[in-house]
């Protein structure tokens, strides 16, 4: 517009939550409050901003790790600087490196295959099903003698079928690293994600279920994998081993990096974690109301969630028979003020240019061209045809946060009802 003013969105007058500053925030971000402020101030007043150094360290990161382990039921939790760092540390801890392949679902954020490449290995893409998570039926077909690990992704609060994936991994003697970045607090068959595989990787980035702006966590039950993770995240050795409870170091040093979480980040993360049960409880309650609300509308099918009690209900999806109907439904919802969209724009992750072109920062760093790598892969359209089809007909109609009230849910239900009536 000529006067430079923003066009008002239909939601500004139509949906009270979407028009508040909270409406467009993701779960954790929408709940930030005084508790985080006080915890951060305490850390600054301690003048001890590192988990390892300072005159009066409050052990905030350590307390966060202990609380995270309790929350998930994992034996160990290691705080790191991002979800991507968590994935890389977990993959390295699992022994993944040059010459290896890691099986990744066709639909995920770029960080998932990116971390595999950063660890020196080659990502191999497997199909997803209509839940948008790894299809166990395709997984086994993608295993080769070079496969070292499986990297299932619990996408937007929906857990993968970990029982079947675990069984396949066991039969082929493969490690599992779970990408839990989008799904903190999700359970499968009563067991928290991040405790099914050999290692779990969580993110605390700003758009995730709980957040410290940036940050991540590695979980494991295995003392050796935990020791390798701790070593890799901090230069291969230990500053003070009693700061890692339960750790009995017995492995040799190896060169690591620095992914240590700062105390200031730990302060926010600790208070966000204290809110997790309330966040997930609210999300699940809102989802059930939505589910009941649309249950009478003919011809609608919800995205399968693999576990009715364990999934988070943070992102609501509908499955259509074909891309055309999906598109018409999307337009009908948009006309009624919602902001529906396809996951990752409806594109599989392997069509992102850096993966598609197998491009690393320097050509010598390429895991695909490593002399240790005996396979040969190309990526491109048609690589996972079923996933490409599914991604075009599973519509994400709303991402909610705990600030959404019953009336907001009812408005979304009403929009869906009207759209369903208008799309043949």
Ligand X SMILES: *Cc1c(COP(=O)(O)O)cnc(C)c1O
State the nearest-atom distance from the C-beta of 351 to ligand X, in Å: 16
84 binds ligand X (CB under 6 A): yes
Tell me which stretch binds ligand X (CB under 6 A): 15-23, 104-112, 316-324, 416-424. Answer: 104-112
Any residues with CB less than 8 A from the CB of 292 and at least 6 apart, and which? none
Decide the pairing of beta strands 175-179 and 199-203. parallel
Q: Which stretch binds ligand X (CB under 6 A): 62-70, 76-84, 275-283, 345-353?
A: 76-84
Q: How far apart are CA 375 and CA 135, in angstroms?
A: 23
Q: How far is CA 148 from CA 38, 170, 199, 219, 370, in A?
A: 44, 12, 14, 19, 16
Of 152 and 340, which CB lies nearer to ligand X in the complex structure?
152
Binding to ligand X by residue 108, rule CB under 6 A?
A: yes
Residue closer to ligand X by CB (options 90, 230) is 90
If one asks whether residue 266 binds ligand X (CB under 6 A), the answer comes out as no
CB of 296 vs ligand X, minimal distance in Å: 33
The DSSP H or E segment spanning 125 is strand 122-126
String of contacts with ligand X for each residue 155-194, x by CB under 6 A: ------------------------x-xx------------
User: Which of 82, 147, 271, 387 forms a contact with ligand X (CB under 6 A)?
Assistant: 82
> Is 379 in contact with 357 (CB distance < 8 Å)?
no
Which range touches ligand X (CB under 6 A), out of 80-88, 94-102, 275-283, 348-356?
80-88
For residue 216, state whether it binds ligand X (rule: CB under 6 A): yes
Nearest CA to 318 out of 291, 336, 345 is that of 291
Q: How far is the CB of 202 from ligand X (least distance, A)?
A: 9
Contact residues for 357 (Cβ-Cβ < 8 A; gap 6+) = none
The number of residues in the chain equals 424
By CB under 6 A, how many residues form the interface with ligand X? 14
Least spacing, CB of residue 419 vs ligand X, in Å: 28
DSSP string, 309-346: TTS---EEEEE-SSHHHHHHHHHHHHHTT---EEGGGG
Residue 183 CB, nearest approach to ligand X (Å): 8
Considering the rule CB under 6 A, would residue 133 count as an interface residue with ligand X? no
CB of 19 to ligand X, least distance (A): 27
Query: Exposure pattern of 39-54 as b/e (b: 16+ CB <10 Å)?
Result: bbeebeebebbebeee
Is 90 or 419 the residue whose CB approaches ligand X more closely? 90
Element housing 150 (H / E): strand 147-150
Pairwise CA distance, residues 107 & 391, whole Å: 8
Q: Is 211 an interacting residue with respect to ligand X (CB under 6 A)?
A: no
Contact between 230 and 45 under an 8 Å Cβ cutoff? The reply is: no
- Binding test (CB under 6 A) with ligand X, winner from 69, 153, 210, 419: 153
Closest contact distance (angstroms) between CB of 344 and ligand X is 10
Greatest Cα pair distance in the chain:
68
Per CB under 6 A, 109 contacts ligand X: yes
Distance CA 108, CA 267 (A): 29
Contact between 344 and ligand X (CB under 6 A)? no
Interface contacts to ligand X, rule CB under 6 A? 82-84, 108-109, 111-112, 153, 179, 181-182, 203, 205, 216
């Amino acid at each position: 517009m000529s006067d430079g003013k923003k066009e008002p969105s239909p939601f500004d007058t139509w949906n009270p939550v979407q028009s508040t500053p909270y409406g467009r925030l993701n779960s954790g971000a929408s709940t930030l409050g005084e508790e985080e402020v006080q915890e951060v101030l305490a850390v600054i007043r301690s003048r001890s901003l590192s988990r390892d150094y300072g005159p009066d360290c409050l052990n905030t990161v350590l307390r966060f790790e202990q609380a995270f382990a309790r929350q998930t039921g994992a034996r160990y939790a290691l705080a790191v600087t991002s979800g991507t760092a968590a994935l890389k540390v977990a993959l390295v801890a699992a022994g993944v490196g040059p010459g290896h392949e890691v099986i990744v679902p066709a639909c995920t954020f770029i960080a998932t295959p990116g971390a595999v490449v950063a660890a020196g290995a080659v990502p191999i893409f497997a199909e997803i099903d209509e839940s948008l998570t790894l299809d166990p039926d395709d997984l086994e077909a993608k295993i080769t003698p070079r496969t070292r690990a499986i990297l299932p992704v619990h996408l937007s609060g929906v857990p993968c079928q970990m029982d079947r994936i675990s069984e396949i991994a066991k039969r082929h003697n493969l490690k599992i690293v779970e990408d839990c970045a989008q799904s903190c607090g999700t359970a499968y068959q009563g067991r928290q994600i991040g405790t099914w595989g050999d290692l779990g990787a969580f993110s605390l980035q700003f758009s995730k279920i709980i957040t410290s702006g940036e940050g991540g966590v590695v979980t494991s039950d295995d003392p050796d994998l935990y020791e390798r993770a701790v070593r890799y995240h901090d230069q291969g050795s230990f500053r003070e081993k009693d700061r890692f409870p339960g750790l009995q170091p017995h492995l040799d040093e190896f060169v690591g990096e620095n992914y240590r979480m700062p105390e200031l980040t730990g302060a926010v993360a600790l208070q966000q974690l204290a809110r997790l049960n309330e966040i997930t409880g609210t999300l699940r309650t809102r989802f059930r109301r939505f589910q009941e609300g649309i249950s009478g509308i003919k011809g609608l099918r919800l995205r399968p969630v693999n576990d009715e009690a364990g999934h988070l209900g943070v992102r609501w999806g509908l499955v259509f028979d074909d891309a055309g109907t999906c598109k018409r439904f999307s337009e009908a919802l948009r006309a009624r003020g919602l902001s529906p969209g396809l996951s990752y724009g409806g594109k599989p992750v392997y069509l992102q240019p850096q993966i598609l072109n197998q491009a690393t920062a320097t050509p010598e760093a390429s895991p695909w061209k490593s002399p240790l790598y005996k396979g040969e892969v190309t990526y491109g359209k048609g690589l996972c045809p079923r996933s490409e089809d599914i991604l075009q007909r599973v519509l994400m109609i709303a991402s909610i946060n705990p600030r959404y009230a019953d009336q907001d849910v009812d408005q979304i239900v009403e929009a869906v009802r009207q759209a369903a009536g208008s799309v043949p």
